[in-house]
Amino acid sequence: MTVAIDWLAFVQVFAAALVGSVVVVTFYAFGLRLLVRSGRAPVVTPAEFTDAITVITEKQARRGAKAAAKAASRSPLSDAQKQLALLGAFASFAVSALAVLGALMLIVFGH
């Protein structure tokens, strides 16, 4: 009994996974960057976990929200540029989501 490995198929799967992960991470990071440039920095409220290593306090969350608001207010971009950055952020998130959905479709229907 011999086991035959299709190395070309292995390389194709590896390349597809590498390219897919690079596309998702790059466009998501670019979308976050544009979101911050548009003056809408994402501020996440702290979660309460009993086994968490670090949990930020309400004071730290308020300080972070205040810093984000201050950074947004002194942005050198005009309102039109901020709107364009926001549109670019949404487009980048859409590309990232489409890459994930495309990969899922390839897994489900492509075999």
Q: Where are the beta strands (DSSP E) in 43-86?
A: none
- The model carries a pTM of 0.69
Q: How confident is the model at residue 110 (pLDDT cuts 50, 70, 90)?
A: confident
DSSP 78: -
Q: Tens digit of pLDDT for each residue in 8-50?
A: 988 988 998 999 999 999 999 999 999 888 888 776 665 666 5
Report domain extents, the chain: 7-43+53-109
Helices 7-37 and 79-109, interaxial angle, to 10°? 160
Residue 106 has what pLDDT?
84
